[in-house]
């Protein structure tokens, strides 16, 4: 009899604790529903930087761009070959196309510096939009070059990296798609690129300063014009689209170090972001 009474008592206590816990959860949920939703943290806000720990968010100073004259551009670009930073390697570059901002991808398979003009680069590659892959050929032309001074950087860490100079350049691009392909046309527009020169390393893209490029490596911003109709559509893509994507589509990418596409935009071709299909590779010859 005592054993049964003990079991009943334990059951009543457990039931009471359960009810109390449920009541607390209900009250908490009700409170949360009346509060403002927590803002999403974006990739750009959570991206790693080389900012000095002594500089707070509200103390960030503007960078300085010292634009070089033509002879100064020649002194830098005559001896540098930027082909290896422009060419795509293991991943295609991502962007937005059209008024609906549907995903478009670009892969630069070959980039060659012109033999006579150090400001001119010849490129070939492919782009993909809605599973349609189209080949293109074109040129990139660098019109201006500036040396970047960023007072927000951790000078010791930058020095340990062997960084000598940081540069920012503006230019134009023209990419002509294969005219025999369906829905083909020409991409034209402006490009912005940031790169660093190093003591004992090759030239590399620079992602750590708030230049007009917004730390995206290389940014292409322009239009596509149809060969057939003459109508144009906006296009923008980059080495790191997520550094400024949320300026184009609100809360497009969420999360900090790991990029996650907001569900409301996944129907625009972003449902398979993490799949690296290598769609640009040539088809293997069947033996």
Is 277 a member of any domain?
no
Query: What is the distance between the alpha carbons of residues 221 and 41, in angstroms, rounded to a whole number?
Result: 25
Tell me whether residue 247 is in a domain: no
Q: Is residue 86 one of the residues assigned to a domain?
A: yes
Domain assignment present for 25: no
Q: 202 lies in a domain? A: yes
Burial of 103 (0-12, 13-18, 19+ CB in 10 A): buried
90: in domain: yes
Cα 117–122–123 angle (5° rounding)?
160
Q: Indicate whether 174 pLDDT > 70.
A: yes
pLDDT for 241 equals: 84
The more confidently predicted of residues 8 and 46 is 46
Residue 137 falls inside a structural domain: yes
Alpha-carbon distance of 193 to 257, in angstroms, equals 23
- Whether residue 39 is contained in a domain is answered as no
Give the range of the structural domain holding residue 202, as residue numbers without chain letter: 63-242
The pLDDT tens digits of the residues spanning 36-81 come to: 433 444 445 445 578 888 887 778 889 999 999 999 999 999 999 9
C-alpha to C-alpha distance for 209 and 48, rounded to whole angstroms: 11
Q: How many domains does the chain have?
A: 1
């Amino acid at each position: 009899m005592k054993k049964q009474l003990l079991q009943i008592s334990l059951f009543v206590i457990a039931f009471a604790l359960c009810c109390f816990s449920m009541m607390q959860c209900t009250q908490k949920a009700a409170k949360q529903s009346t509060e403002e939703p927590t803002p999403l943290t974006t990739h750009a806000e959570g991206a790693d930087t080389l900012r000095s720990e002594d500089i707070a968010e509200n103390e960030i100073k503007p960078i300085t761009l010292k634009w070089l004259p033509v002879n100064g551009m020649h002194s830098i670009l005559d001896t540098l070959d930027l082909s290896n930073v422009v060419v795509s390697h293991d991943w295609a570059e991502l962007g937005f196309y059209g008024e609906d901002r549907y995903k478009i991808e670009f892969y630069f398979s070959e980039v060659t510096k012109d033999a006579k003009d150090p400001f001119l680069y010849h490129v070939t590659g492919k782009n993909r939009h809605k599973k349609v892959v189209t080949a293109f050929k074109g040129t990139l032309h660098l019109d201006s070059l500036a040396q970047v001074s960023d007072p927000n950087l951790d000078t010791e860490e930058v020095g340990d990296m062997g960084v000598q100079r940081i540069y920012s350049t503006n230019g134009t691009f023209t990419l002509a798609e294969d005219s025999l392909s369906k829905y083909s046309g020409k991409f034209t527009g402006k490009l912005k690129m940031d790169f660093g020169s190093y003591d004992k390393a090759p030239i590399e893209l620079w992602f750590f300063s708030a230049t007009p490029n917004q730390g995206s490596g290389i940014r292409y911003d322009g239009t596509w014009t149809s060969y057939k109709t003459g109508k144009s559509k906006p296009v923008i893509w980059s080495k790191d689209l997520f550094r400024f994507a949320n300026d184009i589509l609100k809360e497009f990418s969420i999360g900090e170090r790991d990029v996650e596409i907001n569900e409301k935009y996944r129907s625009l071709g972003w449902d398979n972001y993490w799949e690296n299909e290598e769609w640009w590779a040539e088809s293997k010859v069947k033996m």
